[in-house]
Structure 1
Amino acid sequence: MTWTTNSWERIAPLYEKIISHPFNKELTDGSLSLDRFSYYIGQDAYYLMEFGRALAIIAGRMENPDYMLAFSRFASGAIVVERALHTGYFKIFGVEKTPAPSPTTNLYTQFLLTKASLSSVEEAVAAVLPCFWIYKKVGDHIYSHQISGQANPYQEWINTYAGEEFGDSVREAITICDNLAAKASPNLQEKMYQTFEMATKLEWMFWDGAYWEEKWPI
């Protein structure tokens, strides 16, 4: 059994909580309020910039040139390709500029940047993997559970994360993570899992924060 297969089995209950969250259930049937989705898009735009920084840091730390190139492409995709989607939604929903990060967005991005900069490369890759893998899984789940013939105002977002181009990046990230884990000690593999699990929890928190339009208390 590969590291990612084993790790996914261990976080399966967390994934079930993610797909059953009201944000994703309402996104599936198109009933999610425009205010909530606009809030989400603004926070995600900020997140993607910091996610791109984390990926670029990891790329620079890779010894394997193929992995370096892969993470450089991932960073470019996060900043350029996915931000293009958000720019379109900014116009549609009247979001004027990228907002300041919410408490959860700040926590998640700082977690990723810290792991990318200070932890082992193996842990760093495990930290960013949920943003690839869980988004693909959620995108596929939503796409397959939509009501046939029913228009969804968020279809473009759904199509992006359920698409094959994004799927190719996800599979490449999973492969790199498994290759790194295969050479790691059992202790390091467990640290990778703990990092992967924490990032998965932060994914849930990100959607929850968007649903409630989280604000700083003071």
Structure 2
Amino acid sequence: MNQPETVKDRLSERLRREADIAWQKSFEHPFILGVAQGSLPLDSFIFYLGQDAYYLSVFAKVQSLAGAKSETFAETKRWAEHVQKTYEVEKALHDRFSQRLNLAEAQKRFQPAPTAFAYTRHLLAIAHTGSLIEIVSALLPCYWLYREIGQRLAKARPGVEVYEEWIEAYASPEFGQLVQEQIDTLDTLAATSSEKTLQRVHNHFLISSQYEYLFWEMAYRRETWPFPDILGTHE
């Protein structure tokens, strides 16, 4: 006999359960374990920083498009605040790492790797063609997975300053509050969404969850294009 759905069994919780296999693989990925243990080659982390900065520049654009699709001024204002947080917190973190690791020259030669390019195009396509809840569902795995990684690694002492600072950023209560807002937004919007829309939401969330795993793999292996020399640098 099927159990009735409870108030606690929210859409976000169902999606989290369905994505669990991909998230567990992220937790177990050698990139994440290497950050926690201080054994990750610094070249892989530097590669990650460049790709993540590129990803975040698109992430902020998608957040802005979510604000444009919001129905109230208050919601639009809140999305604008999320864009500001992405700039102030994430970019500031990347800027500190860039200065500490002397990455200015490498940034001039930057090219988005295939996985970073594909993931950001997934987000942009949904932002331009989907509804607000669809945008939230595509963005949420990044927010939420990083919070869980931060919580899991909060007591780690890798002995590498940049790794410890990276963990601290995503284990912070302030970041956790931003994540919870997005989870609550998804559940609130789900209450008035059609079944057809929720099917798309389901797919967006699970695809983004898999891209998150692929992002670690991309960084760990320092993924490149088959013929990188025919590409220009990213402006």
Range into which the TM-score falls when normalised by the shorter chain: over 0.9
| C-alpha displacement of 1:63 | 0.5
Percent of pairs with identical residues? 32
Please, which runs of 5 or more residues in structure 1 have no aligned partner? Answer: none
1:116–1:124 contact (8 Å) kept in structure 2: yes
- Give every structure 1 segment of 4 or more consecutive aligned residues whose post-TM-superposition deviation is greater than 4 Å: none
| CA deviations over 1:151-176 (Å, ceiling 9, x no partner) | 23311110000001111100111111
Q: 198, 203, 212: which one pairs with 2:207?
A: 198
Q: Distance in 1 between matches of 2:170 and 2:78?
A: 19
| C-alpha displacement of 1:142 | 1.6
Decide which moves more: 133-142 or 184-193: 184-193
SS of equivalent residue, structure 2 residue 36: helix
Q: Distance in 2 between matches of 1:70 and 1:136?
A: 20
Answering whether residue 184 of structure 2 is matched by residue 175 of structure 1, we say yes
Q: 153, 157, 181: which one pairs with 2:166?
A: 157
> 1:209 aligns to what?
218
Answering whether residue 131 of structure 2 is matched by residue 120 of structure 1, we say yes
Please, which runs of 5 or more residues in structure 2 have no aligned partner? Answer: 1-8, 228-235
Matched AA of 1:191: R
Matched AA of 1:24: I
SS of equivalent residue, structure 2 residue 154: helix
1:58–1:117 contact (8 Å) kept in structure 2: no
| CA deviations over 1:19-42 (Å, ceiling 9, x no partner) | 000000111111111101111111
Matched AA of 1:163: S
Matched AA of 2:58: E
Matched AA of 2:51: Q
**Matched length:** 215
2:69–2:131 contact (8 Å) kept in structure 1: no
TM-score (norm 2): 0.88
Aligned CA-pair RMSD: 1.3
Larger radius of gyration: 2
Q: Distance in 2 between matches of 1:115 and 1:103?
A: 19
